[in-house]
Structure 1
Amino acid sequence: MQVSETSDDLDPARADALRAALNLDGPPFRAGDPLPPFFHQVYFWNPLPPARLGRDGHPARPPALADAGLTRRMWAGGRLDFAHSLECGRRAQRRTIPGPLSFKTGRSGPLAFQTLTHEIVQDGIIRVTERQDLVFRAEPGPDARPPEPIPARRDETQSAEQDFSSTLLFRYSALTFNGHRIHYDADYARQVEGYDGLVVHGPLLAQLLMLMADALAGPLRRFTFRAAAPLIAGEGATLCRAGRDLWVRAADGREIMTASLD
């Protein structure tokens, strides 16, 4: 598959906007300031015209996926290596290397998997390497039932309560140029994809866990996360940490995301 490259000047104003959306304090970012971990998600946009988007607002599926009826895309998890901090206000390049598609059949039907490797370079040095795990699924049938929830751990040593409003989801979608309708179109999320309401972005949850880890355990070097269940806007959630483990627990106790600093 074809390797793609894009560049971005890492505008400090966009980092300011993300920090405001996350309700974080701090002085305005200036050129040369280090970006917090995972803030690169608001850069390196891929602004495709409407004709190249699927009905869900994401880029249209490749023929191999479309022919298999795998129209639902999920960001299932990822792994990040932070060799050096990115500096905002300075040119950076992102090289994306798509891995091969693999197919299998799960409890919910056919599935496809792909890992995208993003290498973010500044001053000729790879500063961040991100491996993004994607899952593609078919449309849910009329009798489809959600999987049984997994109870989340309750042995955290640090925690923080977090609310997710539709405004936060809208702003995060805008800042990351994410057109997936499950995050801003409640009717689509319910009637087409079978969710109970607007779905909180997995990367947004991962972002909050990374900021927690960075504040409590020092600068991140490696971070791995895995989505376990969708969180719906309006649900309360708890961000948790115990040692090198982190997780998100919904108000009803179910596991939403797990993460590790290893």
Structure 2
Amino acid sequence: MDPARAAALHATLGRMGPPPAEGQALPPFWHHIHFWAPQPPEALGRDGHPRVGQGLIPELGLPQRMWAGGRLEFHHPLVLGTPAERISVLEAVSEKQGRSGRLGFVTLRHEFRQEGRLCLVEWQDLVYREPVQARRAGPPPPQAPRDEVTRIERAFDAVTLFRYSALTFNGHRIHYDADYCREVEGYPGLVVHGPLLAQMLIDLASREAGPLAAFRFRATAPLFAGERVAFCRAADGGLWARGPDGRLCMTAEAVTAA
């Protein structure tokens, strides 16, 4: 667990003060900058992700990938400077016909251990879709609540998205290739990483309520580079990310440690 990576993410997120050092706990959700599984160029798909059908994720004939959500259970902090391991399992695969076309759903479960102790369990929910030319128009995104008691606003530029992609070894071209976004995936601009939005909501929940025992999030609409987003927390602890036009980009729930 290299402290230099944590220092780089600390700077990328614009955090104040010194970064976490060797022997200290890794902040929640920062494990995404570790446990890389690099693939050579010939093992990548057109979108920059590892090609499906050669590892845990089967080939579904659906080329466009989205990280739709996830949940986490925090058992013990991961400690910087200490060896750690990740064990990954394909937990579920299903398909259905949605309003915009055929969809494939994949759930991965990851368990993270240090010195034989379970520290973290994460479930990742991925959605695979048809090419944009084959899809029908889906419903408009829902509108976000406006009854928050805490709100933090921020915009993410192309440099931040590039640095976050580099730190997480995420080659998905929707985060750094604007031409690919428009011409292939049908987005108007660079897409902000779903886990980056989740990171901001985890940080908000931790600051407001203290250490977390569990966290769950679901993406509902994309956010694009340069757009100002509001990260919100309600009086009952509910969390969401609201886009500049009021659209709901992500919802989340946090459970604090006893």
TM-score normalised per structure 1: 0.93
- 1:18 counterpart residue number: 9
Task: State the distance in 1 between where 2:135 and 2:108 align.
Answer: 32
- 2:195 counterpart residue number: 203
Compute the displacement of 1:187 (Å): 0.3
Alignment partner of 2:213 out of 214, 221, 230 = 221
- 1:7 counterpart residue number: none
Cα deviations by residue, 1:4-54 (Å, 9 ceiling, x for unpaired): xxxxxx101100100100000121332110111000000000110000000
- Amino acid corresponding to residue 199 of structure 1 in structure 2: V
Alignment partner of 2:143 out of 136, 142, 151 = 151
Match of 1:91, SS? Answer: coil
Tell me whether 1:246 sits opposite 2:232 in the alignment. no
Quickly say closer, same or farther: Cα 1:28–1:235, change in 2 above 3 A: closer
- Amino acid corresponding to residue 171 of structure 1 in structure 2: R
Quickly say closer, same or farther: Cα 1:39–1:177, change in 2 above 3 A: same
Match of 1:212, SS? Answer: helix
TM-score normalised per structure 2: 0.94
Cα deviations by residue, 1:146-193 (Å, 9 ceiling, x for unpaired): 531211010101010111100110000000000000000000001100
Task: State the distance in 1 between where 2:145 and 2:19 align.
Answer: 37
- 1:255 counterpart residue number: 248
Task: State the distance in 1 between where 2:89 and 2:52 align.
Answer: 17
- Amino acid corresponding to residue 237 of structure 1 in structure 2: V
- 2:100 counterpart residue number: 108
Task: State the distance in 2 between where 1:149 and 1:29 align.
Answer: 38
Report if the CA contact (8 A) 1:65-1:71 is conserved: no
Tell me whether 1:79 sits opposite 2:71 in the alignment. yes
Report if the CA contact (8 A) 2:175-2:190 is conserved: yes
Compute the displacement of 1:142 (Å): 6.7
Task: State the distance in 1 between where 2:199 and 2:66 align.
Answer: 17
| CA RMSD between the two structures | 1.4
Task: State the distance in 2 between where 1:62 and 1:157 align.
Answer: 45
Instruction: List gaps (5 residues or longer) in structure 1.
Output: 1-9
Tell me whether 1:89 sits opposite 2:81 in the alignment. yes
Instruction: List gaps (5 residues or longer) in structure 2.
Output: none
Task: State the distance in 1 between where 2:92 and 2:202 align.
Answer: 28
Task: State the distance in 2 between where 1:229 and 1:146 align.
Answer: 11
- 1:3 counterpart residue number: none
Task: State the distance in 2 between where 1:249 and 1:221 align.
Answer: 25
Tell me whether 1:28 sits opposite 2:14 in the alignment. no
Task: State the distance in 2 between where 1:28 and 1:223 align.
Answer: 23
Q: How many residues align?
A: 252
Report if the CA contact (8 A) 2:99-2:136 is conserved: no
- Amino acid corresponding to residue 223 of structure 1 in structure 2: F
Alignment partner of 2:31 out of 37, 40, 49 = 40
